[in-house]
Amino acid sequence: MAWDGLGRILKAEGAKVLVIVVLLWLVLATYKEVVLVGFIGAFIVAVVIFSMAIFLRNPAQIEAGKQNVN
């Protein structure tokens, strides 16, 4: 049962990485004068910030005493 959830999570992460790579290629192929260091740096910061959302908990559940995630 837990493996099913893990499989879905890994598929979603794989799809996210695929979309990221395709969109990066599209931007770099389309815009020839892009500042590569700034673009890649901003991209890495955005990916790290959005991936940190998995560590956040729902404050309403914490206040109600329901800390278990189903």
User: What residue numbers bound the domain in which 59 lies?
Assistant: 2-64
pTM attached to this predicted model = 0.57
- Could you tell me if 27 and 35 are in contact, meaning their C-beta atoms sit under 8 angstroms apart? no
The answer to the question of residue 54 being in a domain is: yes
Distance between CA 70 and CA 64 in Å, rounded? Answer: 15
Encode pLDDT of 16-51 as tens digits: 889 988 988 998 899 989 898 998 899 889 888 877
Averaged pLDDT for residues 50-68: 63
Q: How confident is the model over 51-65, as a mean pLDDT?
A: 64
Question: What pLDDT does residue 10 have?
Answer: 86
Residue 69 lies in a domain: no
Total tally of structural domains belonging to the chain: 1
In a domain, 60, yes or no: yes
Residue 70 within any structural domain of the chain = no
Kindly report the number of other CB atoms within 10 A of residue 53's CB atom.
7
Distance of CA 31 to the CA centre of its chain: 24
Please check whether residue 51 lies inside any domain of the structure: yes
Q: Compute how many other C-beta atoms are within 10 angstroms of the C-beta atom of residue 15.
A: 10
